[in-house]
Structures are given as structure tokens and as C-alpha cells.
């Protein structure tokens, strides 16, 4: 029988599940609707039933563990803590509940740390001992790896680069503070920059034809490629903020590679070229030329499941 791990990605709307082998091949997939379960215990009962259903459809597979990626997940404690986009309030001991129900070894971490593990086990970071991954989506997540180990810190919440203050008194962040990196260096931050430029300037722009809700990082990248001045300026400003976050992080962890992942990273050279240029300008001279900035090696559609499964596969290997 082929051994597999259940990679479970818990989101505010969907929970995606995949049976992943040691080479990163997904053999079966399933889904739960996260909001259907008002209590974590009910969710785990449904998860256990779904895993059994998937395994019954694939009797050639042997399930050896469960890796979970979830918002506000604490690897050290095996908990989800005060997650704003889940119905389960307070501190949820999800690892304990899941192990008790399924009898399987279970580990949990947040989505950015899961992405770092997935990159290390299945992606471009194989053999790389020191790296950072930045997930550039609605917010900015980060997973930091030093000496081949994810940095969790004393509390289990280390490495929240998206909430480094880069502009004192700047944009309001969802965390309640102002000027956090993710309010500038994310897909959402890019849109906020576009809207500010459209308000402050009179340049013609393809983006003026769109409603605010229709402006996305993809639309901005397409407009920039078509020569739109506002879109190009917004991407440039966003790239500089990403580079500032990288320059600050290089000082404390000295990575070999910084991987960019997520919707904003799909802009390709439009984001990578200026990020590399500004990072070289902004970083302390002693670190100049010591690191690379590269795209993630994980397929975006499978990255969350692969990363979650890597929690177990890393221990198995």
C-alpha cells in the first residue's frame, strides 16, 4: 500500500483536503464547507467521515497522518487562536480533538508556514536550509526557515512580516494597527495604491473605466503591460514596499533565497524585476549579492494542500 498524508487547508469558506504521497503527488481530493460547522468538534466529526469516505474509494492508500493549514494556527500548541474568519471563537485545541477522533498523528500551522514547508519538501527549496517565502495575496504572509527549520518562536506566532510597521501612522490594517507592510505589499495593498493614484493624479488610465471593486492585481498587471502609467507606477510602488520588507528581513535571518508566491507574484517580471532592483538598493551593503529572489516552485492550485501535508512528511523524513 502507498502511504499518504491528508493535507487539510481550512479557509473561511472552504476546507480543501488531499491525500498526498511522499513525492508530492495528490491521489484523492475532497472538500467541506467550513461555515457549515458552528463548533470545531462538529467540523472534526465531518472531517473524519470525509477522510474515511476518501480512503474507502482508494483502498490502495494507507493514511498515516493529517497536516492542517489554518488561519491563526499555532504549531507549538496545536491550536487555532482567535481566527477572525472562522465561526469557532476563542482558542481551539484542534490537534487534540482531531487526534482523539481519528487516531492519526496530526500537526497544524498557519498557511504561510505551511507554504514554507511545502516549498522545502516538494518545491523549489529542496536542499535550501535558509529561506523566506512571502505569500502575496489578500494580505502578506511569511514563512521563515533557518537551518532547515521553520521559525515559530516562543509564542508559535513568529515571522509575521506582514505586520511589520513600514509607514508610521500609515494605512489602517485589519489587525487594528497602522502602516503594516501588508497594507502596501499585497494584492489588496496594490489596489489601494491604484485607487490613491487615480484620486491624486489626472493621467489617463485604463483603470479609470473600472469600478473600484473590479480592480484586481491581475487587471493592474495587464494594464501595466499595455503601457498604463498609473498601473506601472502602482506596481513600482508596491515592488519597493515588498523590497523594503525583504531588506529588513534579510538583516535578521540572512536567507539564501526569498520565494514569492500568490496572486501578486503572478505578475512575473513586472513585479520581480523592480523588487530585485529595490532590494539590492535598500539592503545593508554587507548582505548585497548574498540572496536571490525567485518565484515559488509550487503549483498555486495545490500549494495549500501540499504545504499542509508537508507538516507530517517532514517528520516522517
pLDDT grade, residue 128 (50/70/90)?
very high
Please report the pLDDT score of residue 212 as a whole number: 85
**What's the average model confidence in pLDDT over 105-134?**
97
Please tell me whether residues 42 and 132 are part of one structural domain.
Answer: no
Please tell me whether residues 286 and 310 are part of one structural domain.
Answer: no
Residue 213 falls within a domain, yes or no? yes
Please report the pLDDT score of residue 316 as a whole number: 87
The domain of 136 spans: 128-295
Please tell me whether residues 137 and 261 are part of one structural domain.
Answer: yes
Tens of pLDDT, residues 136-153: 998 999 999 999 999 999
Residue 143 falls within a domain, yes or no? yes
Q: Are 121 and 172 in contact (CB under 8 A)?
A: no
Please tell me whether residues 104 and 12 are part of one structural domain.
Answer: yes
| Pairing verdict, β 79-81 and 91-92 | antiparallel
Q: Are 216 and 187 in contact (CB under 8 A)?
A: yes
Please tell me whether residues 82 and 169 are part of one structural domain.
Answer: no
Tens of pLDDT, residues 186-213: 999 999 999 999 999 999 999 999 998 8
Residue 284 falls within a domain, yes or no? yes
**What's the average model confidence in pLDDT over 224-235?**
96
pLDDT grade, residue 85 (50/70/90)?
confident
On the question of pLDDT at 247 being above 80, the answer is yes
Please report the pLDDT score of residue 121 as a whole number: 96
On the question of pLDDT at 73 being above 80, the answer is yes
Give residues with Cβ within 8 angstroms of 274, minimum separation 6.
235, 236, 239, 240, 243
Please tell me whether residues 146 and 242 are part of one structural domain.
Answer: yes
Residue 123 falls within a domain, yes or no? no
| Phi, psi dihedral angles at 180 (to 5 degrees) | -70, 150
Give residues with Cβ within 8 angstroms of 222, minimum separation 6.
none
CB atoms within 10 A of CB 79: 20
Tens of pLDDT, residues 2-20: 999 999 999 999 999 999 9
Angstrom distances, CA of residue 208 to CA of 192, 214, 219, 234, 302: 14, 10, 12, 14, 34
Residue 157 falls within a domain, yes or no? yes
Element (H, E) at 20: strand 14-20
Considering the chain, what is the average pLDDT of its residues? Answer: 96
| Residue written as grid cell 500609515 | 170
Please tell me whether residues 112 and 140 are part of one structural domain.
Answer: no
Half-sphere exposure of residue 9, counting CA atoms within 13 Å on the CB side?
25
- The overall pTM is greater than 0.85: yes
- CATH number where 58 lies: 3.30.420.40
Please report the pLDDT score of residue 243 as a whole number: 98
Percent of the chain with pLDDT over 70: 100
* β-bridge partners, 28: 19
Helix (H, G, I), strand (E, B) or coil at 191: helix
Please tell me whether residues 70 and 91 are part of one structural domain.
Answer: yes
On the question of pLDDT at 317 being above 80, the answer is no
**What's the average model confidence in pLDDT over 41-48?**
98
Of the chain, the end-to-end C-alpha distance in Å amounts to 18
Give the rounded distance of the alpha carbon of 148 from its chain centre: 18
Give the number of domains in the chain: 2
Q: Are 256 and 292 in contact (CB under 8 A)?
A: yes
Residue 208 falls within a domain, yes or no? yes
Shortest CA distance to 315 belongs to which of 170, 154, 69, 106? Answer: 106
Please tell me whether residues 139 and 111 are part of one structural domain.
Answer: no
Please tell me whether residues 305 and 291 are part of one structural domain.
Answer: no
Amino acid at each position: 500500500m502507498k502511504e499518504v498524508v491528508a493535507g487539510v487547508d481550512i479557509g473561511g469558506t472552504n476546507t480543501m483536503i488531499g491525500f498526498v504521497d511522499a513525492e508530492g503527488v495528490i491521489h484523492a481530493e475532497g472538500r467541506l464547507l467550513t461555515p457549515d460547522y458552528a463548533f470545531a468538534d462538529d467540523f472534526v466529526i465531518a472531517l473524519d467521515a470525509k477522510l474515511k469516505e476518501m480512503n474507502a474509494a482508494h483502498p490502495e492508500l494507507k493514511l498515516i497522518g493529517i497536516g492542517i493549514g489554518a488561519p491563526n494556527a499555532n504549531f507549538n500548541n496545536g491550536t487555532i487562536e482567535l481566527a477572525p474568519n472562522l465561526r469557532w471563537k476563542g482558542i481551539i485545541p484542534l490537534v487534540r480533538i482531531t487526534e482523539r477522533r481519528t487516531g492519526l498523528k496530526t500537526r497544524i500551522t498557519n498557511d504561510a508556514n505551511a507554504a514554507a514547508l511545502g516549498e522545502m519538501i516538494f518545491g523549489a527549496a529542496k536542499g535550501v536550509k535558509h529561506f523566506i517565502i512571502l505569500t502575496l495575496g489578500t494580505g502578506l504572509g511569511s514563512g521563515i526557515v533557518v537551518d532547515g527549520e521553520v521559525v515559530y518562536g516562543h509564542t508559535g506566532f513568529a515571522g509575521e512580516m506582514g505586520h511589520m510597521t513600514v509607514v508610521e501612522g500609515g494605512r489602517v490594517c485589519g489587525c487594528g494597527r497602522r502602516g503594516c507592510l501588508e497594507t502596501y505589499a499585497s494584492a489588496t495593498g496594490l489596489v489601494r495604491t491604484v485607487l490613491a493614484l487615480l484620486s491624486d493624479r489626472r493621467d489617463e488610465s485604463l483603470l479609470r473605466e473600472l469600478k473600484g471593486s473590479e480592480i484586481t492585481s491581475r487587471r493592474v498587471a495587464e494594464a501595466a503591460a499595455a503601457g498604463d502609467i498609473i498601473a506601472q507606477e502602482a506596481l513600482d510602488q508596491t515592488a519597493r514596499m515588498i523590497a523594503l520588507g525583504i531588506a529588513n528581513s534579510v538583516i535578521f535571518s540572512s536567507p539564501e533565497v526569498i520565494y514569492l508566491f500568490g496572486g501578486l507574484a503572478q505578475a512575473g517580471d513586472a513585479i520581480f524585476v523592480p523588487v530585485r532592483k529595490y532590494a539590492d538598493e535598500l539592503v545593508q551593503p554587507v548582505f548585497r549579492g548574498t540572496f536571490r529572489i525567485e518565484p515559488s516552485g509550487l503549483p498555486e492550485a495545490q500549494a495549500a494542500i501540499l504545504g499542509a501535508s508537508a507538516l507530517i512528511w517532514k517528520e516522517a523524513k
